[in-house]
Amino acid sequence: MIRRGADAGHTAEGPVGSPGGRHLGRQASQRVLKIIAVALATVLVAGVGFASVQLLRLQGNVATQPLNLSTDQGDDTAADIDSDPVQILILGTDTRTGADNAAYGGAEFTTETGNSDVMMLMHLSADRENVTMVSFPRDLLVPLPACLDPETGTLNPAQDLAMLNGALGNGGPGCTVAAINELTGLKIDHFMMADFNAVKELSSTLGGVEVCVNDAIEDTYSGLSLPAGTSEVEGEQALAFLRTRHAFGDGGDEGRIRAQQSFMASMARKIQAEGTLTNLPRMYAIAETVTKNLTVDDGLSQIPDLLRLADRLKDVDLAKVAFVTVPVLPYEPDLNRLIPDEERAEELFATLVEDRSVVDEPTPEPSGSSDPSGSPDASAGPDAEPSDAAPDFDPAGVPFTIIDSSGAPDRGEEIQNLLLDEGYTQAVVSEDVETPATQLFVGAGYEAIGAAVAELFGLAEVQVLSSPATVGLALSVGEDFTSGGTVSTEGLPPELSGQTADQVTCQSSFGS
């Protein structure tokens, strides 16, 4: 019985906690602890129940299709997401079906799958230290395997040479998986396919993604409108940045891939800087956005598996996240199409099959001579020059502009003095809008000299741009090069085209 008034807080033995009531005080304390334990258990069970309901709701968002539609699938053993190398094909479809996608026009794209505008193969290394994203140009001609359409039962015959992005129409993403398996020698474990709306919503959920352009962009085809310098894009403008062909490079697919890689590198930097992959509420918001606009293979349809993938990515060094374009050559009968550069492409694919990093350059093999003195191989001839011989040119004859976009005081003059010491006596300084990326613009006829200057400052291939509008050379010194004589990021080895996630890059049109 609870007693009130003057007796409140007392028992028959006296006040709780007094010497006479010490034994009963322990019993009361134990009761309190039990109540707290029950309450905590109730909250925990309720939390687990809530999480389960939320996961089930997310689960209901996910659409699935078969992983591999090839009539010759080979080994179908699934990779262990936690411990094996994992290959995931990421596809962006240009389908206009659905209310959100129909606004982009094009009656020819009203099929359920459309064509694959974006094709990126993500390789996650077994040691969790490397992520490689390989871009396949949509204009790439490759053999396509026979694929069985799971909806109609129609067998789409094999083709000796066809555009890779058309494989999606031969039954769905499982046919693109089969084609890339055949091309690369890899075994794709999973795929993710997104439409236009997924890009818009994800970029908005992230709060925008920072992009950089060297010149103001007004592209009436994609709707991209950006001032020169750095901007945050999301929604429609993020989609326009990723889709545009006419604004970047020479108007071909390679310029667009470069922009896509730059966008994804910027997104990776933002996600890591904000701790997104360890922030459960933020991850849930992203999962909600992604699952509503995503088609995956049956094996990746479980939400916990998607979260385990995020766990593999959260601690990877940005310098070990590489965005690489498959080495290609023009297809001579039709220069609007591309074919794989077989030797270089096979080297890239072998690196991934063997689960090696593309960022770490292979150890150079010794030269043909076995002479311990290091003398040149006699078979090279008496007039052979060493491979590291400097280009034969007079730096004093090279027109050279230094564009100080770094924001650091007197940085342009510091770079000018470095160039003067190297004999570039025509080097002059100008200032421009601040940009995050250091770039070297190379005028026609100055390619060999540009390579020497790039080596001088430690510039990666992605930072060196052909520029018909430039006379001589122009070095734009960005916010990533505010001190010292070389840029701090190493990037990819020179035989590969692309960038690492820690490199900040800006986009240019061919005529810039």
Per-residue 3-state assignment (H helix, E strand, C coil) for 445-490: CCHHHHHHHHHHHCCCHHHEEECCCCCCEEEEECCCCCCCCCCCCC
Alpha-carbon span 286 to 276, nearest angstrom: 9
pLDDT value of residue 209: 95
Among 58-67, 78-87, 391-400, which is the least confidently predicted range? 58-67
Pick the CATH number of 393-500 from 3.30.70, 3.40.1130, 1.10.8, 2.60.120: 3.30.70
pLDDT value of residue 39: 55
pLDDT value of residue 418: 96
* Number of CB atoms found within 10 A of residue 134's CB: 26
Which residue did the predictor score with more confidence, 301 or 480? 480
Q: With the CA atoms of 56, 58, 64 and 67 taken in that order, what torsion angle do they form, in degrees rounded to the nearest 10? A: -90
What confidence tens digit (pLDDT) does each residue in 263-275 have? 999 999 999 999 8
Please state whether 188 falls in left (phi above 0), alpha (psi between -120 and 50) or beta.
beta
Q: Which whole number is the average pLDDT over 246-255? A: 83
3-state secondary structure of 261: helix
What confidence tens digit (pLDDT) does each residue in 355-367 have? 999 997 554 443 4
Alpha-carbon span 446 to 425, nearest angstrom: 16
pLDDT of 122 > 60? The answer is yes
pLDDT band at 370 (very low <50, low <70, confident <90, very high): very low
pLDDT value of residue 52: 41
Residue 408, judged by CB atoms within 10 A of its CB (0-12, 13-18, 19+), counts as: middle
Q: Which whole number is the average pLDDT over 411-431? A: 95
pLDDT value of residue 95: 59
Average pLDDT, the chain: 81
Q: What is the pTM of this model?
A: 0.79
Contact 283, 276 (CB under 8 A): yes
pLDDT of 99 > 50? The answer is no
Q: Which whole number is the average pLDDT over 27-55? A: 51
Pick the CATH number of 64-353 from 3.40.50.720, 3.30.413.10, 3.40.50.1010, 3.40.630.190: 3.40.630.190
Looking at the chain, the whole-number percentage of residues with pLDDT higher than 90 is: 51
